């Protein structure tokens, strides 16, 4: 088993991309979950979770359309109370923006 190490430049890029994602969350909610640790390695997980919620919301029953979106957005650190007050359209907009951000920012310059 080998341990992958990153160059200082790659480490800095990953930290910067994590900060950019945190800023995208702040743009939507106006804050961050202070109990949550945002890590570069989690960005791809956020992207997949949001994509799945967006895909699922297209086909679910009217009553349950918001639930997967709320759960996925809550995972990235947005307040559930805030999310429950939002329209389904807003939730889709937020999830789309954060999914694209996480997808773009999760890419490693080392091709992993």
Which of 26-30, 75-79, 89-93, 108-112 has the weakest average pLDDT? 108-112
Give the pLDDT confidence score for residue 109 in this predicted structure.
65
What is the Cβ-side half-sphere exposure of residue 37, based on CA atoms within 13 angstroms? 2
C-alpha–C-alpha distance, residues 70 and 60, integer Å: 14
Which of 30-34, 46-50, 84-88, 102-106 has the weakest average pLDDT? 30-34
- Per-residue pLDDT tens digits for 52-104: 999 887 666 665 678 999 999 999 999 999 999 999 999 999 999 999 999 99
Kindly report the backbone phi and psi dihedral angles of residue 110, in degrees, each rounded to the nearest multiple of 5, phi listed first.
-100, 10
pTM (two decimals) = 0.85
Q: H-helix or E-strand containing 58?
A: none
Give the pLDDT confidence score for residue 100 in this predicted structure.
96
Residue range 23-52: mean pLDDT, rounded: 93
Residue range 32-48: mean pLDDT, rounded: 93
């Amino acid at each position: 088993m080998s341990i992958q190490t990153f160059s200082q430049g790659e480490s800095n890029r990953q930290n910067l991309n994590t900060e950019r994602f945190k800023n995208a969350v702040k743009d939507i909610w106006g804050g961050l979950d202070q109990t949550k640790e945002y890590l570069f390695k989690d960005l791809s997980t956020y992207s997949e979770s949001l994509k799945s919620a967006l895909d699922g919301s297209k086909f679910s029953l009217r009553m349950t359309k918001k639930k997967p979106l709320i759960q996925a957005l809550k995972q990235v650190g947005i307040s559930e109370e805030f999310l429950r007050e939002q329209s389904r359209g807003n939730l889709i907009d937020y999830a789309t923006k954060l999914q694209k951000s996480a997808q773009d920012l999760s890419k490693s310059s080392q091709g992993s």
